[in-house]
Amino acid sequence: MTNPLRDLADGRLCCLNTATLGHREPILTVIDAVARAGFGAISPWRRDVEGHDAAAIGRRIKDAGLVLPGYCRSTYLPATTPDGFRANVEDNRRAISDAASLGAQSFVMVVGGVAEGSKDLDHARRQVEDGTARLLEHGREVGVRIALEPLHPMYAGDRSCLNTLAQALDICDRLDPEPGPDPWLGVAIDCYHCWWDPDRAAGIARAGAARRILGFHVCDWLVPTKDLLLDRGMMGDGVIDIPAIRGEIEAAGYQGPAEVEVFSANDWWQRDREEVLKICRERFATVT
Amino acid sequence: MTNPLRDLADGRLCCLNTATLGHREPILTVIDAVARAGFGAISPWRRDVEGHDAAAIGRRIKDAGLVLPGYCRSTYLPATTPDGFRANVEDNRRAISDAASLGAQSFVMVVGGVAEGSKDLDHARRQVEDGTARLLEHGREVGVRIALEPLHPMYAGDRSCLNTLAQALDICDRLDPEPGPDPWLGVAIDCYHCWWDPDRAAGIARAGAARRILGFHVCDWLVPTKDLLLDRGMMGDGVIDIPAIRGEIEAAGYQGPAEVEVFSANDWWQRDREEVLKICRERFATVT
- 0.95 exceeded by pTM: yes
pLDDT digits (tens, 9 = 90+) for A39-74: 999 999 999 999 999 999 999 999 999 999 999 999
| Residue A29 clears pLDDT 90, i.e. is over it | yes
Determine contact: B197 vs chain A, CB below 8 A: yes
Residues B15-25 as b/e (b if ≥16 CB within 10 A, e otherwise) read bbbbbbbbeee
How many Å apart are CA B179 and CA A31, to the nearest integer? 61
| Residue A4 clears pLDDT 80, i.e. is over it | no
pLDDT of residue B1: 44
Mean pLDDT of A162-188: 97
| Residue A2 clears pLDDT 50, i.e. is over it | no
Residue A167: which of B119, B167, B198 has the nearest Cβ? B198
Mean pLDDT of A242-251: 98
**Helical segments of chain A, H only:** 27-36, 46-49, 54-63, 82-102, 121-142, 165-175, 191-194, 200-209, 242-251, 273-287
Is there a contact between A154 and B158 if contact means CB atoms under 8 Å apart? Answer: no
Give the 3-state secondary structure of residue B207: helix
Closest CA to B190 of B240, B236, B224: B240
Is there a contact between A166 and B198 if contact means CB atoms under 8 Å apart? Answer: yes
pLDDT of residue A3: 57
pLDDT of residue B2: 47
Q: Please report the domains of chain B, with CATH numbers, ordered by start residue.
A: 11-287 (3.20.20.150)
Is there a contact between B121 and A241 if contact means CB atoms under 8 Å apart? Answer: yes
Distance of CA A267 to the CA centre of its chain: 21
Closest CA to B231 of B213, B244, B219, B249: B219
DSSP 8-state class, residue A264: B
- The low-confidence residues of chain B, meaning pLDDT below 70, are 1-3
* Burial environment of residue A182 by CB neighbours within 10 A (0 to 12, 13 to 18, 19 or more): exposed
Is there a contact between B196 and A225 if contact means CB atoms under 8 Å apart? Answer: no
Mean pLDDT of A138-155: 98
Are A19 and A261 contacting, i.e. CB atoms less than 8 angstroms apart? yes
Determine contact: A205 vs chain B, CB below 8 A: no
Is there a contact between B154 and A153 if contact means CB atoms under 8 Å apart? Answer: yes
pLDDT of residue B4: 77
The predicted complex's ipTM stands at 0.96
Query: Best mutation site among B2, B116, B119 for testing chain A: the one with the most A CBs within 10 Å?
Result: B119
Is there a contact between B154 and A228 if contact means CB atoms under 8 Å apart? Answer: yes
pLDDT of residue A1: 44
Are A103 and A97 contacting, i.e. CB atoms less than 8 angstroms apart? no
**Helical segments of A25-179, H only:** 27-36, 46-49, 54-63, 82-102, 121-142, 165-175
Are B14 and B41 contacting, i.e. CB atoms less than 8 angstroms apart? yes
Determine contact: A195 vs chain B, CB below 8 A: yes
The percentage of residues in chain A with a pLDDT greater than 90, rounded to a whole number, is: 99
Distance of CA A202 to the CA centre of its chain: 20
Determine contact: B163 vs chain A, CB below 8 A: yes
Average pLDDT, chain A: 97
